Amino acid sequence: MFGICLGHQLLCRAVGLETYKLPFGHRGANHPVKELASGRIDITSQNHGFAVVAPDGGHAIAGDEPVRWETDFGAAELSHLNLYDRTVEGLVLRDVRGATVQHHPEAGPGPNDANHIFDEFLSMLG
On whether the CB atoms of residues 114 and 29 are closer than 8 A, the answer is: no
Smallest separation (angstroms) from other proteins to the CB of 83: 5
Residues 32-91 that bind other proteins (CB under 8 A): 32, 34-41, 43, 64-66, 75, 77, 79-80, 83-84, 90
- Looking only at the bridges linking them, the beta strands covering 67-71 and 41-52 are unpaired
Backbone angles phi, psi at 117, to 5 degrees: -60, -35
Please identify which residue in 5, 92, 102, 105 interacts with other proteins, judged by CB under 8 A. Answer: 92
Question: 20, 40 in Cβ contact below 8 A?
Answer: no
User: Residue 19 or residue 94: which is nearer to other proteins going by CB?
Assistant: 94
| Pairing of β 67-71 and β 19-35 | unpaired
Radius of gyration of the chain (CA): 13
Binding site for other proteins (CB under 8 A): 2, 24, 27-32, 34-41, 43, 64-66, 75, 77, 79-80, 83-84, 90, 92, 94-95, 97, 99, 108-112, 116-117, 120-121, 123-124, 126
